[in-house]
Structure 1
Amino acid sequence: MITIKDTEICTFFAYNTAGFVVCDQEKNYHSISLEACANHYLKMRENASGRCVGERNILSHAFVFYSEEKAIKLIFEKRFVFPGKRFLWGTRSMRFHRFQKWIFGHGYTTYDLS
């Protein structure tokens, strides 16, 4: 599993499918497609809805996305983020909920572990 901070989100996309790009500590870029995660999660959990892209935990402020390659854990840290990155301003709870709404806005969901 790769663990990445929310501040490492590079960009969002919504062309044919919605997703986002993150950069890990080794400066490798990972493109996360919500559709691909939903398909892979359905293979892992047969009782899943087909729209679930991973798991979330509000207590630890984290999402885990299950792509075909490997699981990617996105952690929302308690810290100030520069206002130049519009999506990343505010408290970690605000950023976590904003990200969750972004996922829901594209017709997907996450399984709540809290």
Structure 2
Amino acid sequence: MRRRTDVWQYLEIELEDAGDQSWWAGLMAPVATGSDNAYLRFVGRVWAPDGRPTRQVVHGETFPRFVDPDELDPEDAFTPGWERALEHLRRWLEADGWVPAGRGAETWAYRYVRPVVRAQRLPRGA
């Protein structure tokens, strides 16, 4: 017989340069009008129940940026599409079973948790 034990996965939304992830995205990022233009995206990085990072990343939609990502403050709406991209990712995460669990240091750094069901073997006769 097996008993269920629940543990949790953790996810935090981060902002990344869309060109950092693949050579194709990096090649295409500066193609838009004006050489200072590139693309950003929100991603959800997943952490294992023991706190180790996993390879699992949920990618959001890309949107253009016109400043260095370290200088970006999403409260300044001069970066078109960031609000829609963030809201779309948050809705998708919640539909996928992630539960809001606070905020990180950045405006966009929403945190989520999700239970992971693991089966545990009970000793015979239990």
Could you state the TM-score of these two structures normalised by the residue count of structure 2?
0.29
In terms of fraction of residues, the more strand-rich structure is 2
In terms of fraction of residues, the more helix-rich structure is 1
Could you state the TM-score of these two structures normalised by the residue count of structure 1?
0.31
Structure number with greater CO (CA < 8 Å, separation at least 6) is 2
